[in-house]
DNA sequence: GTCTATATAAGGATAGAC
DNA sequence: GTCTATCCTTATATAGAC
């Protein structure tokens, strides 16, 4: 989605967000200059400060735009799974994994965003971590509770580790996934579903390990 | 290990490497300036270019210093496991996981390096990726073959995904691990062993999933 | 090998015209 | 809301004295 022409009919603000997402994914937050962003978005350099105030705010907005939707989708699916298929682990994992991997199929830069997410994890930037924790921490906590309910024999510490492993496997899978260019949208969709299914099998077995 | 005093008896070159490792872990490669590095190392700004030629070479040296040792340890342990305990999955995973997690116990900045590794993964920098692939790609290939030997029924594509999940879980675990400050060296060592054991259980079960 | 000083470029942010 | 022009800071890298 480095092809800016594909974003030509969006507003200046949206064009900046799209370009920033692409570039942050490729070069990181510190490694991307606002000049690069505005150049790729084909807007004026001053537009960033007019619309976002600062680079830091722009970074936060890049996250908010995708994470609000992702979190909603995850929680809605989770709650449906808990009422319709109570006590089952796989539907919970599917609610966590599938909406995330589906982002890689998004035609408007979602595939870049999964790499941005992977970067955010490595980032030790306090402000960014606090922003993510404050705004989206409740999602992980709700999933954590749901999974714990399926695995009553697991110790609290062991559960915490294993959830970390699940998140790591997903992040890695998503970021790697975003690198591969597949021939058609159809092949891409099938590949994504296969990856999600494989990850659910893997993590379900791992979580159930004695 | 941001306490530079602890590195006072090292050479200028080693002090620079140590400071760079700490700062790269915390702020990323692009987010760390050579001025910060030389300031923390308590050496002159010109020393970086004298000893390393450029920032890019410094980054590569930071990796080489740790990865040469890590790769040796991993491969030695792997080969021993293959002859002494043939056909068993857990010893192979232990050879992959334990030397990496042991780095977090290193008194001389190894704990920072695991975060640097996590960052490198998110990095799309072509030069860095090529450097890592050229110099350390053979390690992953050897492990891949060993694990495939234990799981003859697994399809090639499925195996490839699952290895990605293992690497992701390990990277995540290591990076998270480096954040936690534990009271004593003894507690830290026990905690590290527990984490390694948990990760081996998790990934072994995941790899064996039907 | 280590310093000071500096060349040269790029960064974020803003002021003020339109 | 969007532009040009510019301020000010910081960056990498190097030249040349010691």
Residues B106-161: tens digit of each pLDDT: 767 677 898 888 888 777 777 888 888 999 999 999 999 999 999 999 999 899 99
Non-local (6+) Cβ contacts of A145 within 8 A are: none
Q: What is the pLDDT of residue A191?
A: 86
Nearest to B144, CA basis, from B193, B97, B80, B93: B93
| Cα A145 from chain centre | 21
Does the distance separating the beta carbons of A158 and B164 come in below 8 Å?
Answer: no
Q: What is the mean pLDDT of chain A?
A: 90
List, as one string, the DSSP characters of B3-22.
-GGGGTTS-HHHHHHHHHHH
Read off the pLDDT band of A46 (50, 70, 90). Answer: very high
Q: What is the pLDDT of residues A81-106, one digit of tens each?
A: 999 999 999 999 999 999 998 888 87
Residue B3 binned pLDDT confidence (cut-offs 50, 70, 90): very low
Q: Quote the CA–CA distance of A28 and A22 in Å, as a whole number.
A: 10
Report CA(B46)–C1'(C7) in Å, whole number.
14
Structure tokens at B189: 């060592």
DSSP state, residue B44: -
**In this complex, which of A25, A119, A165 lies closest to B173 when CB atoms are compared?**
A165
Asked if strand D contacts B23 at the CB level, meaning under 7 A, the answer is no
pLDDT at A178: 61
Express as a percent the part of chain B with pLDDT over 70: 92
Kindly determine whether residue A205 and residue B205, on different chains, have CB atoms separated by under 8 Å: yes
**pLDDT the model gives residue B2:** 42
B57 is near strand D: CB distance < 7 Å: no
Does A48 have pLDDT greater than 60? yes
Q: From B22, which residue of chain A is nearest by alpha-carbon distance?
A: A124
| Alpha-carbon B167 to chain mean position | 11
Predicted confidence (pLDDT) per residue in B85-105, tens digit = 999 999 999 999 999 988 888
Three-state SS at A183: coil
Using an 8 Å Cβ cutoff, are A18 and A108 in contact?
yes
Task: Enter the pTM of the model.
Answer: 0.91
pLDDT score of B180: 62
Taking one residue from A and the other from B, the number of pairs with CB-CB distance under 8 angstroms is 134
On chain B, the residues whose CB falls within 8 A of the CB of A158 are: 198
Q: Dig out the tokens for A26 from the structure.
A: 């490729």
Conformation bin of residue A57: beta by default, left when phi > 0, alpha when psi is -120 to 50: alpha
For B49, other C-beta atoms within 10 Å of its C-beta total 13
Residue A177 pLDDT greater than 70, yes or no: no
- B206 closest CA partner among A164, A202, A196: A202
The answer to whether B58 and B52 have CB atoms below 8 angstroms apart is yes
pLDDT category at B177 given cuts 50, 70, 90 is low
Distance B54 CA to D18 C1' (A): 24
Biggest CA–CA distance in chain B, Å, is 58
| Distance from C-alpha of A77 to C-alpha of A62, rounded to nearest angstrom | 24
Is there a contact between B162 and B170 (Cβ–Cβ < 8 Å)?
A: no
pLDDT at residue A166 tops 80: yes
Question: Nearest CA to A74 among A164, A121, A139, A166?
Answer: A139
Q: Is the CB of A34 under 7 A from strand D?
A: no
Tell me if B54 sits within 8 A of B156, measured CB to CB.
no
Looking at residue B4, its pLDDT comes to 44
DSSP 3-state of A112: helix
Structure tokens at B43: 């050496």
CA-closest candidate to residue B99, choices B124, B117, B122? B117
Residue B184's pLDDT is 82
Contacts of A167 in chain B (CB under 8 A): 172
Query: Which of the residue ranges A37-51, B7-21, B70-84 would you say has the lowest mean pLDDT?
Result: B7-21
pLDDT at site B196: 93
pLDDT at A134 over 90: yes
> B interface mutation test: which of A206, A208, A209, A210 has the most B CBs within 10 A?
A206
DSSP assigned state of B195 = H
User: Residue A63: CB partners within 8 Å, gap ≥ 6?
Assistant: A116, A120, A131, A132
pLDDT (mean) for A139-145: 96
CA distance B64 to B132: 9
Q: Which residues on B lie below 8 Å from A115 (Cβ)?
A: 122, 124
Among B33, B127, B161, B197, the residue to mutate for chain A (most A Cβ within 10 A): B161
Contact call for residues A99 and A5 (beta carbons, < 8 A): no
**pLDDT tops 70 at residue B6:** no
**Residue B85 beta carbon within 7 A of nucleic strand D:** no
Tokens (6 digits) for B36? 């910060």
Q: When comparing pLDDT for A178 and B71, which is higher? A: B71
Distance B59 CA to D14 C1' (A): 20
Is A123 in Cβ contact with B28 (below 8 Å)? Answer: yes
pLDDT at A4: 44
Full set of structural domains in chain B with CATH: 1-53 (1.10.10.60), 56-208 (1.10.357.10)
pLDDT tier at B5, thresholds 50, 70, 90: very low
Find out whether A104 and A177 touch, Cβ atoms under 8 Å: yes
Hey, what are B104's tokens? Answer: 């977090």
Token pair listed for B31: 């987010």
Strand D and A73 CB separated by under 7 Å: no
Give yes or no for residue B7 having a pLDDT over 50.
Answer: no
Secondary structure E strands in A124-176 = none
Placement of tokens 């200028």 in the chain: B12
Among residues of chain A, what percentage have pLDDT more than 90?
A: 67
Q: What pLDDT does residue B110 have?
A: 76
Q: B194 beta carbon < 7 A from strand D?
A: no
């Amino acid at each position: 989605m480095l092809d800016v022409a594909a974003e030509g009919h969006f507003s200046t603000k949206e064009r900046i967000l799209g370009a920033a997402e692409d570039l942050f994914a490729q070069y990181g937050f510190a490694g991307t200059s606002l000049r690069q962003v505005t150049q790729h978005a084909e807007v004026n350099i001053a537009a960033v400060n007019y619309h976002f105030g600062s680079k830091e705010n722009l970074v936060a907005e890049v996250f908010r735009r995708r994470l609000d939707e992702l979190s909603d989708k995850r929680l809605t699916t989770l709650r449906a799974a808990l009422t319709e298929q109570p006590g089952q682990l796989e539907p919970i994992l599917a609610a966590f994994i599938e909406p995330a991997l589906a982002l890689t199929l998004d035609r408007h830069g979602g595939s870049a965003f999964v790499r941005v997410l992977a970067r955010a994890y490595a980032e030790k930037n306090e402000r960014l971590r606090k922003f993510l924790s404050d705004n989206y921490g409740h999602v992980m906590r709700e999933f954590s509770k749901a999974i714990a309910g399926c695995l009553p024999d697991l110790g609290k510490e062991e559960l915490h580790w294993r959830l970390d492993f699940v998140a790591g496997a997903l992040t890695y899978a998503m970021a790697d996934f975003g690198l591969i260019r597949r021939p058609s949208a159809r092949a891409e969709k099938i590949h994504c579903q296969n990856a999600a299914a494989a990850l659910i099998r893997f993590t379900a077995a791992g979580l159930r390990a004695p």
